[in-house]
Amino acid sequence: MARRSGQIILLLLFTLVVLVTLVLLNVDVFVSVRAKHHIQNAGDAAAIAAAHKQGSLLNEMGLLNVEHMVAAIRNDTNECKRIVLEQRRKALLGPVEALRYANNAAKKNGMAVRDEFSEILRRHIEDIRLVYSGAGGDGEPYPEPFPGAWVDYATAIANVISEGLATGPDNMEFYDCRGGHLLLNRHFYHAVAAKDWCWFFFNCNNVLSDYTSYRDWGPLPVRDDAPFDNSEIFSLHLVSRKIALTDVFSKEEILAMVGRYSDVTLTEEDFDKSELISNSDETWFFFGSDSWGRWFNGLALAGDEYGYEFPIAGEIKEEYNVNGCASVCRCVAEVDAVAVDSHSLFTWSAAARPFGTLESFEGVLSPVTALKNFVVPSFTDVRLIPLDAARGGNLATADYGWVVHVREHLGSYLERGPHYANGCFYCLQLQTWERDYFRREGVIWLKYNSGSCRRPVGGGPGGHGGTSHGH
């Protein structure tokens, strides 16, 4: 009998252990679900806060454009100069301030400071101080948008970092790491790594069959094409143009804009007396047409008039059919498990952008760019958008390895071909790319399978809808 009850006690004990473990596992599930919610809220709040700042900066830039018109009509040279300088400072330094807003939002939502966010920017500040300003001794300094810009820019970023970052700007656009050349396209390297032949099919089909060796590459674009008007963090994608405003707008249009966006009343006589408004040395701020273009209406070509390839499901209203600027913020949090001795890392990236419309005098709404891309105050709203709809959002461009690769490795690669990768992911892909049989595999695969390639909605390889986890 004693033996029997001993067995029962053992059985009960065993059951108890199982039950307790189950309860603890449940606690873990609860803890991790709660943590995920938490980090998503924080990431979303950070992105929205930054986009909000972007929207108000754009409105301020628009108001300054209008003030500039008034000053130009009044022939006030000094005021014109002051306004343009203020615009230049705002375009470069304002979006850095948007990072501070994002950071405060992340902290308010309980995110802890993580050094990894600051680390990338700290290294970048060093580049601004040495490379951009030319102080490092090698190479010409980058053209400054205003005197002392690089010092102010580096200081502004350093100030934000000094508060400790709880979120990272995930769609940074480093000046000399973008556009124009396949070797400056991160998607290319990722397509090589993943053998994503469909990416080649959609983006550069012949390069797989035509490429013979690294000597085929054309030279990298020259640095002066780079958009120094804008911040690399949360860029507003504006361009400053030296142009006579009367070459863009009629007298009536200019006076109408002054009437609508300021409380100053100017007459045609004032206008006719002005020299500055028709002076081609005046600088005005416009939406950059590359970034502020319309969404490609590929579906209209297929007969579906309203089906823009907008990365948001459903129809897009005409007045919102404009690309633009966005902010992508990443949050990371560690969650400790209770039942098992481990912790996991959650990452969440969210994107948001400012929205607005222009209203004509007849009450018709049109996109913010409708005034020939001239910036006027028109932003009224901020919304979360899918990561795919934000430039540079889907590959986490806050990757310093990429910057190092472009700045330090590409030059010697173009001269001497692939070299020892030394831990560089991108150099490693160039080694793979150089192998004939690698590219031949792609050509053969596409010969039989290209029909199964689907262009990801919103463009970019591995595009996925909705806000989503980082890597």
Binding site for Zn ion (CB under 5 A): 405, 409, 424, 426-427
Residue whose CB is less far from Zn ion, 113 or 424: 424
> Residue 49 CB, nearest distance to Zn ion (Å)?
34
Residue whose CB is less far from Zn ion, 330 or 405: 405
Rounded CA separation 435/421 (Å): 15
Rounded CA separation 216/439 (Å): 14
Residue whose CB is less far from Zn ion, 192 or 351: 192
> Residue 245 CB, nearest distance to Zn ion (Å)?
45
> Residue 211 CB, nearest distance to Zn ion (Å)?
19
> Residue 408 CB, nearest distance to Zn ion (Å)?
7
Contact 187, 395 (CB under 8 A): yes
Q: Hey, how many other C-beta atoms are within 10 angstroms of the C-beta on 286? A: 20
Q: Hey, how many other C-beta atoms are within 10 angstroms of the C-beta on 271? A: 19
> Residue 266 CB, nearest distance to Zn ion (Å)?
56
DSSP strands (E only) in 7-61: none
Which helix (H) or strand (E) covers residue 283, if one does?
A: strand 283-287
CA-wise closest residue to 167 among 404, 396, 467, 460: 396
Rounded CA separation 123/119 (Å): 6
CB-based burial label for 358 (10 Å; 0-12, 13-18, 19+): middle
Contact 22, 78 (CB under 8 A): no
Helix boundaries (H) for 263-344: 268-273, 298-301
Residue whose CB is less far from Zn ion, 322 or 410: 410
Rounded CA separation 168/387 (Å): 15
Give backbone dihedrals phi and psi of 294, rounded to 5 degrees, phi first: -90, 160
Quick one: DSSP state of residue 253? Answer: H
Residue whose CB is less far from Zn ion, 190 or 405: 405
Residue 373 has which token pair? 């891309």
Residue whose CB is less far from Zn ion, 202 or 400: 400
Sequence-ordered list of residues with C-beta below 8 angstroms from that of 441, at least 6 positions apart, any chain: 195
Residue whose CB is less far from Zn ion, 50 or 427: 427
Helix boundaries (H) for 74-114: 77-108
Residue 244 has which token pair? 């006579």
Residue 76 has which token pair? 């006030």
> Residue 391 CB, nearest distance to Zn ion (Å)?
23
Residue whose CB is less far from Zn ion, 262 or 431: 431
> Residue 116 CB, nearest distance to Zn ion (Å)?
20
> Residue 423 CB, nearest distance to Zn ion (Å)?
9
> Residue 407 CB, nearest distance to Zn ion (Å)?
10
Residue whose CB is less far from Zn ion, 189 or 374: 189
Residue 164 has which token pair? 């400790």
